[in-house]
């Protein structure tokens, strides 16, 4: 979504060919997230599987994208000690039980590239049906690499209404070492889902690391269908964007909930990731490079010539602020389309 | 502000040393604006004059920044046929009539670099007092290059309550070929100011091109002090950010008002600039490169598998939408501090 | 609450002695509800049981209030063919199982007056614990009169978390012919509670009439504690008040849900009750007297001299309107205190 | 408007025949305002002049209404020491200069009744054109009674854009002892208008008492056309209603501005009038009768059994509260129709 705002990716098809067409833009974004404190460079391979099944850019293949995406993630990760993770996501061929072999074949083909590029760990992400995610995990674990798995679901469960608790159990039993959620709903709802996942795992006596990558949009009006059903998606979501203080609050709550892989999905920008790193600096023991250009809790304002700006150089100002929308003709919630 | 969000610039002092410290980040941002349709690369020399008067980075000089900023702007501009403009802004030494020679000395020193780098035209921007802006113009016009001049003011006039009409007249009489406003208030208020400037010039029988570079934040609650007086500035402005459709509307109104240098200031991202280029494509005769990754008026959604997303592939959806803030505990307006 | 706004009742203690002190005000309000289409005059005996247990007006007894309240309700009811209902409500002596005899004694004492005054039916209302409500019903049914029973609860159940379904079952088994909810939450939440009550009764094979008397305030932010926990209660609820079109919508939904005793609690004014009567006029077969002074769906505006007012003489205008608060500094939801 | 909500008056034509049809309802409302602290009973003769020019109730005459209205106002006023004021308002025959004699004839006819009933003073109210108001004052002063005159205008002036300052001057020169505004806009805008009136009178060396009767609705989005142009008028204004604390703030500001006839127009209920009397109790030296049923600044809540309600028994709670609308799908401002 950041690359869309920078002019490189088309919203709607979310064109992964940017990796081949504009590597400098992708590399720059990786670097910004690294500077912001990210421990993992996730390869931009999202939805690349869709490319071989009818694309606007027939001369760019999924394999080509995946290879370049891995190379770039590694290149930037090596600038500090970050890890590289390569991901597969829901496939366009999934249509229930009968599609198992087809889905697995697509995942397997992507895995071959990831292994050749020797990424550090693997990820099955943005799956809407736990069944398909389990298949992906089953393929990925054959590599011997650690596997993470996330579903894009609300607290009411996956597309087939399988509960978060049950989803977590199935993914761990399939071999995932890290399980969680990504996309579709906001931090508040993601945290509710994670609570259910954790309780499910505990009740089943299973162990796994927990992972969370919510939207960077406030969407309390979301139904189980996720934020795409809101009339603002995807081109008028600005007014819903979390600020850095919202993100710090989210990061703290995620940490308290026992989650240790804490990140973000659509809408997250480098400064949002930095906010996670800053909030958890006491636990991590260090601040990220980008914090050299950021006063914690607005402290850089204390050099301002304006007294009212200096007065905002305080945690209490930012923590208690109820930011106005500047849009008196607009409501605070929308009615989702579905 | 974009570079702040990317982790390279410190809000508060708005550290221009980024030009020297992270040229790749500045170059990338220039390139994104170019792809978005910008006709002018403005050198990142804003506030650099402050550096020589006590800075956090004593080993980086104003001259060094200005030179590199010019080189980079030119390098990217040459990738297509864009112009390069170098700017000076309000100085920390201004304190009314007595400071004329001091101010002019600072401007002159910056001008020398700009001339050596042979920029295409010059800009005096972000002046709060028309008096100081006039001095800057007086220095800049000695170069023989075209000069643009903008004030950061509300419709009620500059810091000394000199009316927009009077400001425009003084700047044009001092030799500016382009006059206008930038920063501090939102498009609606900037357009009101420009209307007064235009009427003033017309009444005085003067001619000049008009220029506008508003905030990318909705701030109807701003007083003459500008958006910094709002409690959300500068770290919680997300909910006020204009979306692309807001920008198209603004661009059309600016064009109708006879303004031909149409841009943006704090908060503008590449896709906002693209929105200006797309709105004015009929007049300009072409779309910018970044529009290859953007369906006009949401048209790229018509390939979506979800019927409700396809239904949003229409101008009427986006033009009539009243986007929700997703923040039911927040108001729509704030009380400014001053 | 209406009498509070008219200056006769003190918010907080909700002083029922108004019946004795200002009968003309009570009588007038009864008459307005009658004109608005009410089929039942409910005696103003709410909380009168509190009076004998330490009151600000020691020379006015509960019995005196109850007698006068019955007389006035009957007097006005007789102006058309309305029924008179006398109600008892939660007592200050309730403290769980051990208090049964004490509670029943208070109810019994009130019942004696109601029987002497020969009201048409009896009501146990505003009970927070179904246990106490069942005791009230047990006392009231000894009279042989029909008994209605309502709890002030949210969809999550009574104060002891007994579910709405279970509450309904217990009340009907205790002899109530009409069961439902009143007060504490808004129409939307009350309708959710009623749905559960109905399903509970159906599942248990029990039959009863259903009754609903919600708040006239929009309170989607209410927790199970009810609207009193909102910071606006009870002196700043104006911005939450339902308009007549909101009430028509509520009345229709209540009717569709099989509810036939449809009314209102705190905040309802005569024109709100008229809105119920107007919405259900097709089913009832007539309009109430007060509709002589009301054009349905704004139709009286069609005689206006202003074209824009005439344009509002339509159902679609009022049904689709999203009324503004006129308060841009205020949020749309609050955080309840508990 | 109160009588509309009670079911006696039809919005749109605002049927003054209620005086004849339902005197008990009118008398009761008078009495409530008296108890709330009103010093003046204004006869319900508003718009009665319209009746003789084609009415829905041909057997009720303007004279009949005016006579009964005077009798009732006097009857209630005599219950304490209140004054009776009878008013005339804009006439349906006004059409500029040529209509002077016609307008004056209508006013004169009404005046005859008022004199026969010996009211204490006279009022020309709800005039949109100062020209017509001046004519009314010219007729009324012939009686020898004190005359008050109010215009329904915004701070931008009357219907013909005559400034508030000029309007005040003309009315005082015509003989009015009290001048001011009523209706159409909210307290904030009315206070702005009054400031201009006062400055105009001061500059002209004229003396008069000042009077203000604003709407009881928050309407910052009103244009000079007044609140009727808002899409919520007249049937969905609930969310805009001032609460008692808003009214206290308004009363204080009006008093500070030197205004001594402080009241209200559309939307005011008895408890709003009481709020004026309570705010100005230190100046008046007493509380009104209805304050016996009202704890100042919420103090009656200190007897509540709920700790969070007791915590609201304080001035700071109510003064600082930003009341939520409970309507997250609604905006805070509307676009007026004109």
Residue A332 and residue C333: Cβ atoms within 8 Å?
Answer: yes
* Least Cα separation, residue B323 to chain C (angstroms): 14
Count of CB atoms situated within 10 Å of the CB of D89: 25
Cα B227 to Cα D289: distance, rounded to the nearest angstrom: 49
Residue D228 and residue C309: Cβ atoms within 8 Å?
Answer: yes
Cα D151 to Cα D170: distance, rounded to the nearest angstrom: 12
DSSP structure class, residue A127: E
DSSP structure class, residue B161: -
> Residues of C with CB below 8 A from B329's CB?
331, 333-335
**Statement: residue A55 has pLDDT above 70:** no
**Statement: residue B52 has pLDDT above 70:** no
Cα A123 to Cα A151: distance, rounded to the nearest angstrom: 11
Cα C123 to Cα C89: distance, rounded to the nearest angstrom: 8
Please, which residues 13-32 of chain C have a Cβ atom closer than 8 Å to chain D?
A: 13, 15, 24-25, 28, 31-32
Looking up tokens 């000069």, which residue turns up? B147
ipTM: 0.96
Computed over its alpha carbons, how large is the radius of gyration of chain B? 20
Cα B263 to Cα A197: distance, rounded to the nearest angstrom: 48
Cα A92 to Cα D70: distance, rounded to the nearest angstrom: 81
* Least Cα separation, residue B175 to chain A (angstroms): 31
Which pLDDT score, from 0 to 100, does residue B61 have? 86
Mutate to test the interface with B, among C219, C324, C332, C335 (most CBs of B within 10 A): C332
β-sheet bridge partners, residue D89? D125
CATH assignment of D2-291, given 3.40.1050.10, 3.40.630.30, 3.30.930.10, 3.20.20.330?
A: 3.20.20.330
End-to-end distance of chain D based on CA atoms, in angstroms? 23
Mutate to test the interface with D, among A331, A333, A336 (most CBs of D within 10 A): A331
Alpha helices in B164-243 (DSSP H): 164-174, 187-204
* Structure tokens that stand for D64 in this block: 């009949």
> Residues of D with CB below 8 A from B332's CB?
331-333
| Residue A280 contacts residue A251 (beta carbons within 8 Å) | yes
Alpha helices in chain D (DSSP H): 2-5, 18-21, 23-35, 62-77, 100-116, 130-141, 164-174, 187-204, 244-256, 270-279, 281-284, 307-310, 315-320
Which pLDDT score, from 0 to 100, does residue A191 have? 98
pLDDT tens, A229-262? 999 999 999 999 999 999 999 999 999 999 999 9
Cα nearest neighbour of A304 on chain B: B12
Residue C331 and residue A333: Cβ atoms within 8 Å?
Answer: no
Please, which residues 73-112 of chain B have a Cβ atom closer than 8 Å to chain D?
A: none
Cα C62 to Cα C92: distance, rounded to the nearest angstrom: 14
**Statement: residue A54 has pLDDT above 60:** no
| Residue D25 contacts residue D32 (beta carbons within 8 Å) | no
End-to-end distance of chain A based on CA atoms, in angstroms? 23
Tell me whether residue A314 is exposed, middle or buried, using C-beta atoms within 10 angstroms of its C-beta: 0 to 12, 13 to 18, 19 or more: middle
Handedness of CA C278, C282, C284, C288 (dihedral sign): positive
Overall average pLDDT of the B191-215 stretch: 98
Which pLDDT score, from 0 to 100, does residue C61 have? 86
Please, which residues 246-285 of chain A have a Cβ atom closer than 8 Å to chain B?
A: 269-271, 274
Looking up tokens 């955080």, which residue turns up? C335
Q: Does A338 touch chain D (CB under 8 A)?
A: no
CA distances from A203 to A83, A168, A258, B316, D311 (A): 32, 11, 16, 51, 42
Of A328, A329, A331, the CB nearest to D329: A331
Residue A326 and residue B240: Cβ atoms within 8 Å?
Answer: yes
A2-298 is a CATH 3.20.20.10 domain: no
Torsion of CA D234, D238, D243, D249, to 10 degrees: -40
Which pLDDT score, from 0 to 100, does residue A11 have? 87
| Residue B177 contacts residue B209 (beta carbons within 8 Å) | yes
Q: Taking the domains of chain B in order of start, what are their residue ranges?
A: 2-295
Mutate to test the interface with C, among B231, B331, B333, B336 (most CBs of C within 10 A): B331
* Structure tokens that stand for D275 in this block: 């709020």
* Least Cα separation, residue C224 to chain B (angstroms): 19
Which pLDDT score, from 0 to 100, does residue C136 have? 98
Computed over its alpha carbons, how large is the radius of gyration of chain C? 20
Which pLDDT score, from 0 to 100, does residue C140 have? 98
| Residue C296 contacts residue D12 (beta carbons within 8 Å) | no
Q: How far is CA A199 from the centre of its chain?
A: 22
Q: Does A303 touch chain B (CB under 8 A)?
A: yes
For the ranges B14-28, B116-130, B132-146, D138-152, the lowest mean pLDDT is seen at B14-28
Mutate to test the interface with A, among C328, C332, C335 (most CBs of A within 10 A): C328
**Statement: residue D142 has pLDDT above 70:** yes
* Structure tokens that stand for A152 in this block: 């894009």
Those residues whose C-beta lies under 8 Å from the C-beta of residue D142, and which sit 6 or more positions away, are D111
Cα nearest neighbour of A334 on chain D: D329
Element (H, E) at C210: strand C209-213
Overall average pLDDT of the D69-83 stretch: 96
Of B11, B239, B270, the CB nearest to A239: B239
Residue A329 and residue D334: Cβ atoms within 8 Å?
Answer: yes
Mutate to test the interface with B, among D328, D332, D335 (most CBs of B within 10 A): D328
Cα B53 to Cα C84: distance, rounded to the nearest angstrom: 86
* Structure tokens that stand for D259 in this block: 């205004």
Count of CB atoms situated within 10 Å of the CB of A221: 22
Cα C44 to Cα A248: distance, rounded to the nearest angstrom: 53
Cα D70 to Cα D86: distance, rounded to the nearest angstrom: 7
> Residues of A with CB below 8 A from B325's CB?
218, 239-240, 325, 327, 330-332
* Structure tokens that stand for C103 in this block: 């509670």
| Residue B28 contacts residue A25 (beta carbons within 8 Å) | yes
pLDDT in tens for each of the 338 residues of chain C? 999 999 999 988 788 889 999 999 999 999 999 999 999 999 998 766 655 545 567 788 888 999 999 999 999 999 999 999 999 999 989 999 999 999 999 999 999 999 999 999 999 999 999 999 999 999 999 999 999 999 999 999 999 999 999 999 999 999 999 999 999 999 999 999 999 999 999 999 999 999 999 999 999 999 999 999 999 999 999 999 999 999 999 999 999 999 999 999 999 999 999 999 999 999 999 999 999 999 999 999 998 989 999 999 999 999 999 999 999 999 999 999 99
Which pLDDT score, from 0 to 100, does residue D56 have? 64
Peptide bond between residue D92 and the one before it cis (omega within 30 degrees of 0): no
Which pLDDT score, from 0 to 100, does residue A12 have? 80
Which pLDDT score, from 0 to 100, does residue C16 have? 86
Cα D169 to Cα D197: distance, rounded to the nearest angstrom: 8
> Residues of B with CB below 8 A from C230's CB?
none
Count of CB atoms situated within 10 Å of the CB of A207: 9
Fold that domain C2-295 belongs to in CATH: TIM Barrel (3.20.20)
Q: Does A322 touch chain C (CB under 8 A)?
A: yes
β-sheet bridge partners, residue C127? C151
Q: Starting at the edge strand that comes first in sequence, how are the strands of the sheet with B83-89 ordered?
A: B40-42, B83-89, B121-127, B147-151, B178-182, B209-213, B261-262
Q: Does C238 touch chain D (CB under 8 A)?
A: yes
β-sheet bridge partners, residue D88? D124
> Residues of C with CB below 8 A from B336's CB?
none
| Residue D206 contacts residue D169 (beta carbons within 8 Å) | yes
Model confidence band, residue B226 (pLDDT cutoffs 50, 70, 90) = very high
Of C24, C239, C245, the CB nearest to D325: C239
Is residue B265 marked as binding? yes
pLDDT tens, A193-209? 999 999 999 999 999 99
* Least Cα separation, residue D327 to chain A (angstroms): 8
3-state secondary structure of D213: strand
b/e string for D230-242 if b means 16 or more Cβ within 10 A? bbbbbbbbbbbbb
Sort residue B73 into left (φ over 0), alpha (ψ -120 to 50) or beta: alpha
Which pLDDT score, from 0 to 100, does residue D45 have? 84
Q: Does B328 touch chain D (CB under 8 A)?
A: yes
3-state secondary structure of D282: helix
| Residue C25 contacts residue D28 (beta carbons within 8 Å) | yes
Tell me whether residue D195 is exposed, middle or buried, using C-beta atoms within 10 angstroms of its C-beta: 0 to 12, 13 to 18, 19 or more: middle
Model confidence band, residue A76 (pLDDT cutoffs 50, 70, 90) = very high
Average pLDDT in chain B: 95
pTM for the whole thing?
Answer: 0.95
Chain C touching partners, 3 or more CB pairs below 8 A: A, B, D
Please, which residues 131-190 of chain D have a Cβ atom closer than 8 Å to chain C?
A: 186
pLDDT tens, B137-181? 999 999 999 999 999 999 999 999 999 999 999 999 999 999 999
Cα angle, residue A244 at apex, residues A243 and A245 outer, rounded to 5°: 95
Q: Where are the beta strands (DSSP E) in chain B?
A: 40-42, 83-89, 121-127, 147-151, 178-182, 209-213, 261-262
Count of CB atoms situated within 10 Å of the CB of A112: 12
Cα nearest neighbour of C333 on chain A: A332
End-to-end distance of chain C based on CA atoms, in angstroms? 23
Q: Does B311 touch chain C (CB under 8 A)?
A: no
Count of CB atoms situated within 10 Å of the CB of B240: 29
Overall average pLDDT of the D218-236 stretch: 96
Handedness of CA C165, C171, C172, C178 (dihedral sign): negative
Those residues whose C-beta lies under 8 Å from the C-beta of residue B286, and which sit 6 or more positions away, are none
Tell me whether residue B192 is exposed, middle or buried, using C-beta atoms within 10 angstroms of its C-beta: 0 to 12, 13 to 18, 19 or more: middle
**Statement: residue D305 has pLDDT above 70:** yes
pLDDT tens, A89-130? 999 899 999 999 999 999 999 999 999 999 999 999 999 999
Chain A touching partners, 3 or more CB pairs below 8 A: B, C, D
Count of CB atoms situated within 10 Å of the CB of C73: 29
């Amino acid at each position: 979504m950041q690359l869309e705002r920078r002019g490189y990716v088309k919203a709607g098809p979310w064109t992964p060919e940017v990796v081949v067409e504009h590597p400098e833009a992708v590399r720059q974004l990786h670097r910004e997230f690294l500077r912001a404190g990210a421990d993992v460079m996730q390869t931009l391979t999202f939805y690349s599987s869709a490319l071989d099944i009818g694309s606007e850019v027939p001369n760019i293949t999924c394999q080509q994208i995946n290879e370049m995406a891995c190379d770039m993630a590694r290149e930037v990760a090596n600038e500090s000690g970050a890890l590289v993770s390569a991901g597969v996501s829901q496939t366009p061929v999934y249509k229930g039980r009968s599609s198992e072999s087809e889905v697995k074949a697509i995942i397997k083909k992507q895995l071959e590239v990831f292994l050749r590029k020797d990424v550090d760990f693997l990820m099955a992400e943005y799956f809407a049906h736990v069944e398909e995610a389990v298949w992906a995990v089953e393929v990925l674990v054959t590599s011997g690499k650690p596997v993470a798995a996330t579903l894009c679901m609300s607290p009411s469960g996956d597309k087939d209404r399988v509960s978060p608790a049950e989803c977590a159990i199935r993914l761990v039993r399939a071999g995932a070492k890290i399980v969680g959620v990504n996309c579709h709903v906001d931090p508040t709802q993601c945290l509710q889902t994670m609570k259910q996942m954790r309780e499910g795992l505990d009740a089943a006596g299973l162990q796994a690391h927990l992972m969370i990558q919510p939207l960077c949009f406030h969407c309390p009006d979301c139904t189980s269908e996720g934020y795409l059903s809101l009339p603002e998606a995807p081109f008028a979501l600005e007014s819903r964007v979390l600020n850095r203080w919202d993100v710090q609050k989210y990061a703290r709550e995620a940490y308290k909930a026992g989650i240790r892989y804490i990140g973000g999905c659509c809408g997250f920008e480098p400064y949002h990731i930095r906010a996670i790193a800053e909030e958890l600096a006491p636990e991590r023991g260090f601040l990220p490079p980008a914090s050299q250009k950021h006063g914690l809790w607005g402290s850089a304002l204390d050099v301002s010539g304006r007294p009212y700006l200096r007065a905002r150089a305080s945690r209490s100002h930012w923590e208690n602020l109820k930011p106005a929308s500047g849009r008196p003709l607009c409501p605070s919630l929308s009615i989702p389309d579905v």
